[in-house]
Amino acid sequence: MKLAPPLLALLAIGACSKPADLVVYCSLDQVHSEPIIALFEKETGLHVEAHFDVERNKTVGLVNRIFAERKHPYADVFWNNETAHTIRLKRAGLTSAYSSEQTQGIPKEFRDPEHHWIGFAARARVILHQSETQEFPTLVHEIGQSPVNSVGAMAAPLTGTTLTHFAVWSTLFGRKAVLTWLKTARDSGLGITSGNADAMRRVCEKDFPWCLTDTDDAAAAQDNGFDVSVHYPGQSKEFPAVLVIPNTVCILNGAPHRAAAERFIDFVTSASVESYLAKSRSQQIPLRPGVEVPFGRPQPHIDFAMLTIDWEAVATELEALSPEFKKLFLR
* Domain residue ranges in the chain: 8-122+246-279, 123-243+311-329
> What is the C-alpha separation between 64 and 290, in angstroms, rounded?
36
Question: pTM for the full model?
Answer: 0.88
**Confidence label for 131 from pLDDT (cuts 50, 70 and 90):** very high
pLDDT band at 160 (very low <50, low <70, confident <90, very high): confident
- 3 state DSSP class of 79: strand
> Cβ-count burial of 205 within 10 angstroms (0-12 exposed, 13-18 middle, 19+ buried)?
exposed
Mean predicted confidence (pLDDT) in 306-321: 95
pLDDT for residue 153 is more than 50: yes
HSE, side-chain direction, 13 A CA sphere, residue 217: 30
* Fold match, 8-122+246-279 / 123-243+311-329: yes
Burial class (CB in 10 A: 0-12, 13-18, 19+), 125: buried
Q: Average pLDDT of 253-262?
A: 98
pLDDT for 144 equals 97
pLDDT-derived band at 13, boundaries 50, 70, 90 = very low
What's the pLDDT band for 6 if we cut at 50, 70, 90?
very low
CATH 3.40.190.10 fits 123-243+311-329, yes or no: yes
What is the structure's pLDDT at 56? Answer: 54
Measuring CA to CA, how many Å separate 144 from each of 139, 174, 191, 193?
11, 18, 9, 14
Average pLDDT for 103-119: 96
The predicted structure's pLDDT at residue 1: 55
Kindly tell me if the per-residue pLDDT of 48 is higher than 80: yes
Average pLDDT, the chain: 92
Residue 294's pLDDT is 87
Predicted pLDDT of residue 297: 86
Please give the average per-residue pLDDT across 5-13, as a whole number. 43
Indicate the SS3 state at residue 154: strand
| Of the candidate ranges 46-55, 62-71, 96-105, the one whose mean pLDDT is the lowest | 46-55
Which of 319, 286, 42, 326 minimizes the C-alpha distance to 186?
A: 326
Q: Quick: pLDDT tens for 174-221.
A: 999 999 999 999 999 999 999 999 999 999 999 999 999 999 999 999
Element (H, E) at 189: none
Structurally, at CATH architecture level, domain 8-122+246-279 sits in: 3-Layer(aba) Sandwich (3.40)
Q: Taking 90 as the threshold, does the pLDDT of residue 318 lie above it? A: yes
Q: What's the rounded Cα separation, in Å, for the pair 276 and 272?
A: 6
Rounded distance between C-alpha atoms, residue 240 and residue 315, angstroms: 22
End-to-end alpha-carbon separation of the chain, Å?
A: 50
